[in-house]
Each structure stands twice: as C-alpha cells, then as structure tokens.
Amino acid sequence: MTDALTWPLYDGGFWPALLLGLFFGLALEGAGFGSPRKLTAQFTLRDFAVFKVMFTAVLVAAGGLWLAEAAGLIGGNSVYTPTLYFWAIALGGALIGAGFALGGYCPGTSATGLASGRWDALAFIAGMVAGVWIFAGLFDAIEPFYLAAKGPKSQTLDQLLGLPTPVILIVLVAVAAIGFRVGSRIEARFGGPIGAAEVTGGPAGGDAPGGADQALGSAPNRRQRTA
Amino acid sequence: MNAAPRPFWPPLVAGVVLGLALLATFLITGHGLGASGFFTKAAAAIGDWTLPQATAENSYLGGYVRGGAPLAGWITWEILGLILGGLIGSLTSGRFRVQVERGPRIGVGRRLAAAFGGGILVGAGARLARGCTSGLGLSGSATLAVAGFVFLIFFFAAGFATMRLVRRNWT
C-alpha cells in the first residue's frame, strides 16, 4: 500500500512505551505470572494458565489486527512480522522451554517476578545476562546455523497454508476452546490451578533472605488453594 | 503480618487484557511487546562498563555499544513500565512478597543456582531464536507469523521434556 494511513502511529516515544509496558506488567502479575511455581506448573499439568492466557492474548490481538486491516485502519504488512529461521528458532525455542522449566521464568515474567519481590528472579536475570555473553562469544562459530533454513520474509500461516485469515482465526479459536476445556479438567485432577495464597505463603519453611515477613501462620500451606 | 492476598485474575480476563495491550502496542508502535531485547541491551551495557574493548570488538554485541548509550531505546522504557505494572499490581493486591520462591523439597542455594542456570539457557536461547516468549511466542503469533508458531511448538515440547528431569525442584 502506498497511501499514507494514520495507523500504526510508529510512535517509539518514552511515554507510550512506559504506559504499554505498565499494562503488560499488570496483566502478567494479575495472571499470576510473577510466580515461578505457577508458571512451571504448566509443565506438570497442574496449571494451564500459561496456555490459556497466551492463547487468549494471541487471539485477541490477531483478531484485532485482522479487523483493523479489514476496516482499512492499517495497511497490509504494516506491523512487524518476524521471519522464520527454522533451526535457530527451533533450538532457541527449545532452550527457552528448557530454561523456563529449570529456572522458573522467561524474560518478561522474570521482570514480573522481580517486581513482586522474588530474589530468584534476580538470579535468573543474572543468568540471562551471562547467557547473552556466552551466545555473543560463540557467535562467529554458530553464525551459519543462526542463518540456516531461512523462510520467506515475514511469512504468515495464511500464506503458508493458502487459507484466508478468518479461517485460520476460527481454527485457532477452536483449538483454544478445546484447550481451555481439556486444560481445566486436567488441572483440577492434579489439584490445580495454583492460587495466590499458595505462592505468597510459600512452602513449609518458605522464607526470604534477611528474614522478611513470611509470618502467614506456621501451618504448612503447600496444598492451600484460593477459592 | 501480611493480609491474605487477593486471588489472581481468571486466565480469560488476564488474556484479554494482555491481548488488548498487545493490540494497542501494534497500533501505536507498529511492532509487538518484547522482553529479551532489554536483557541483551543490559548485557551489552554491562560488557561496555567492564570490558569495553572486548564488547566493542564482539561481532554480536559490538553493534549495541558502538553508538553509545546501549540501554536507551523503546524496549527499555517498556520494561520499566512492565516492572512498574508488576509492582503496582502486586502491592495493591497483597501479592507482593520478598521471598525466594521454590518447591518444598529444594533449598534456597539450589533454587538460586537453578534459576541462574535456567537464565543462562533462556538468555542464549532468546538470542539464537531472535526473540523470546513475548517477542516471538506472543507478538509473533499474534501477527500469525510462522516463526511464532514454530517457536511455541519447540518451547512447549522442551518445557514438558525438561520438567520430567527437574520435577523435584518444584513439587
């Protein structure tokens, strides 16, 4: 499209960034994603919030972008769409999944964990900085792998599959709906989902460096759940 | 003595709020939300303070420090907002706790070591993938990018596989 549309504004300024980040942080903290036990419980099947929240957010934003384009508010190809580098993204995604299960966070949620008082999030962040340095030190050696199996620029699912965007969206909504139902049933069977009281009370002996207040009563509350 | 924390938001509510924030980000900036990019900038900045020459000569990080002020930029302001949002959310809900959060069978030292080790994998993995759960998984998938869905498939598969090995750290 060559005609100049008002949207996106392409505003990279300080205040919009701070405000958008603020809503991002409120949503992550509200979802319980400051807690590494809630986050990693996705992978023990005790809590499907990671799947549910991510899938819902993807669909709300994807549906909104489609509507904005259909209404002529934004042009095609007007928002940044990443390009596939198959092997780097596959292995990078796997490293993040493994590090998430081991360390309890991903980059965004580690900031949420830190903001809600968790020292382990700070250790995770220090690890990420070290991980960036290791990657940078190895970069020359792994650059061919980093660039291998490049897909078409900014390719989307509708282009890959040759289907209209609404069809893709409807299929994704169906997958999400099934995931919500099945997930709720599975997490209930494993004693989930994990509530706020459990992760702020800590396990028996849960504590903080410097003896910060953990005086939530002495009863072990590992199995405690919010209503 | 802390008051009882308020419950987390239902996943559907949190997902809709997150999705609207993401949509607004696309409409205002032309790109999605991210996170790992900030920690890359932080790594470049710390490298610049401690080992300026090695950092400037590095083929990956050099570009971050060449123009000076490696931390300045959109993603830094966004992460500041993210931390502020997490702080406001946890303080107003009674969910703020100074703690080392961990499973009932792991000590503080081992938990911090595991967090550091997991951070190394995530920091390196995000550079390799050119993004993280936010930038690729969330924002990439919202544009229906194939890259976003490939990322999510491998992220979830590796998460489940690794949890079989580290389950004792959490349960």
| Residues whose CB is less than 8 angstroms from the CB of residue A142 and which lie 6 or more positions away in sequence, other chains included | B128
| Whether B132 contacts B122, CB under 8 Å | yes
Task: Look at B83 and A113 and tell me if their CB atoms are within 8 Å.
Answer: no
Nearest in space to B104 (alpha carbons), one of A164, A175, A220, A190: A220
Task: Look at A37 and B170 and tell me if their CB atoms are within 8 Å.
Answer: yes
| Whether B85 contacts A22, CB under 8 Å | yes
Rg value, chain B, Cα = 18
pLDDT score of B30 more than 60? yes
pLDDT digits (tens, 9 = 90+) for A98-123: 999 999 999 999 999 999 999 999 99
Is the pTM higher than 0.90?
Answer: yes
* CA gap A168, B108 in Å, rounded: 46
Chain A CB contacts of B127 below 8 Å? 92, 131-132, 135-136
Which of B40, B127, B134, B152 is best to mutate for the A interface (most A CBs within 10 A)? Answer: B127
With both helix axes pointing from N to C terminus, report the angle between B36-50 and A119-147 in degrees, rounded to the nearest 10. Answer: 90
Average pLDDT, chain B: 97
Residue B2, pLDDT score: 56
* Residue A201 binned pLDDT confidence (cut-offs 50, 70, 90): confident
Residue type, A176: A
* DSSP for residue A219: S
Residue A203, pLDDT score: 43
Cis before A193 (ω within 30): yes
Chain A CB contacts of B111 below 8 Å? 120
Residue of chain A whose alpha carbon sits nearest to that of B145: A156
A192 in contact with B, Cβ within 8 Å:
no
A18, A19, A21, A27: CA torsion to nearest 10:
160
Task: Look at B11 and A49 and tell me if their CB atoms are within 8 Å.
Answer: yes
pLDDT digits (tens, 9 = 90+) for A31-58: 999 999 999 999 999 999 999 999 999 9
Count the neighbouring beta carbons within 10 Å of the beta carbon of residue A139: 17
Please give the structure tokens belonging to residue B87: 């702080």
Which of A46, A69, A116, A194 is best to mutate for the B interface (most B CBs within 10 A)? Answer: A116
pLDDT digits (tens, 9 = 90+) for B45-89: 999 999 999 999 999 999 999 988 999 999 999 999 999 999 999
Q: A211 or A165, which is more confident?
A: A165
Count the neighbouring beta carbons within 10 Å of the beta carbon of residue B139: 28
Chain A CB contacts of B151 below 8 Å? 89, 92-93
Which of residues 106 through 125 in chain A touch B, CB cutoff 8 A?
106-121, 123-125
Every domain of chain A and the residues it spans? 30-76+88-195
Nearest to B154 among A21, A24, A90 (CB): A90
Residue A227, pLDDT score: 39
Q: A212 or A34, which is more confident?
A: A34
